Amino acid sequence: MSGYMSGIVAILCINLIFAYGIYVTAAAGQLNLGGAGFQAIGAYAAAWLSSVAMQPIWLTIPAAMVITGFVGFLISFPVLRTRGVYMVLATFAFAEVVAGYLLRSKVFGGAIGMVVPDHIDVPVLIGAAVLVTLAVFYLMATRLGLAMRSIHDDEPVSSLMGVNVRAIQVASFTLGGAFAGLAGALYAHHFSFVEAQYFNSLLSIYVLLFVLIGGTQTAWGPLVGSLFFTLIPELLRVGGSWRYVVFGVAIVLMMIIRPEGIVTRELVARLSPRNWFGGKRPALGERHAG
């Protein structure tokens, strides 16, 4: 594999894990625009533990996940007191506070950043991406995942049916933070350097688009969204600066044509092998429950 392809695969794996961190919260009806803040915490936690505390990789990466998950747990309580656009603004403000602190903190290198001595290669990133993908698919098939889906579809009805909405949303925020922290730790150890300027507001917007364009109804959404946003810009690179215009138009058209995302539950059910080989193919207008 060439160096160029290795770089693309590495970014794709990190983006995919990052997208699942945002998807877990979105699956429970919460839009998180603070993804860059969580990824920055994971990246800097791993960088500090590796370069200053001189800890091995097998400890720095899990520790970064735990630290970021704990921050997500703490942040969830004030954030969940907000709704709609105010929740988006609250999470966005959190990311800006994190970036501002890291940019001015001498402990974490300030604007210069930090060098990460321990390096991980692409196969490790691929393995981590596969494990996280499988874990999220399994999560969404559990009772917790079903509760998250019910909250996503209709929060008041879920509450009436006995679902502890607040507990589920706190759990999803915590788990989403841990996944975003993992993405940050892998980024730090693969590129061997972190700087606060990378974890900016544009990164938070991009990763949220990964999830929204891919679709929040199933765990396939972030996978498709990450592939779309990572590979399509590279394929359009031959067009020079016009690729940004083409890509932007494609996103707008996608949001108009498929506002619910590329992958929906109905699409997954329609493409299920059971409908083609083991039973009746659903009619075009037929709706599939849950």
Asked if residue 5 has pLDDT above 80, the reply is yes
Tell me if residue 105 falls in helix, strand or coil: coil
- CB-based burial label for 183 (10 Å; 0-12, 13-18, 19+): buried
CA 59 – CA 68 distance, rounded (Å):
14
pLDDT digits (tens, 9 = 90+) for 152-204: 888 888 888 888 999 999 999 999 999 999 999 999 999 999 999 999 998 99
CA 132 – CA 280 distance, rounded (Å):
33
Q: Domain extents for the chain?
A: 3-199
Q: Where are the beta strands (DSSP E) in the chain?
A: 114-115, 193-194
Asked if residue 16 has pLDDT above 70, the reply is yes
CA 174 – CA 240 distance, rounded (Å):
40
CA 54 – CA 47 distance, rounded (Å):
10
